[in-house]
Amino acid sequence: MKKQILLLPGYDGSGEKTFKKLVPLLSRKYSVETIDYPYFSNPKKQYNLDELVDFVDKKVKDKAIILGFSMGGFVASKYANKYPEKTEKLILVSSSTVPLLDTRLKILLNMASLFFKSRILAFVITKWFLQSNLKDFPLPKPGRNFKAEQGYAVFGSLIKVMREIKMEKIKAKKMAILFEDDNSFPALLCGPKLKKEGFEVKIFKTGGHAEGADYWEKVAKVI
Where do the structural domains in the chain lie, given as residue ranges? 3-100+159-222
Query: Rounded to 5 degrees, what are φ and ψ at 31?
Result: -90, 105
| 6 in Cβ contact with 14 (< 8 Å) | no
**Record: fold of 3-100+159-222:** Rossmann fold (3.40.50)
Nearest-angstrom CA–CA distance, 138 and 140: 6
| 77 in Cβ contact with 170 (< 8 Å) | yes
Per-residue pLDDT of the chain (223 residues; tens, 9 = 90+): 899 999 999 998 789 999 999 999 999 999 999 999 999 888 899 999 999 999 999 999 899 999 999 999 999 999 999 999 999 999 999 999 999 888 888 898 999 999 999 999 999 999 999 998 877 777 888 877 889 999 999 999 999 999 999 989 999 999 999 999 999 999 999 999 999 999 999 999 999 999 999 999 999 999 9
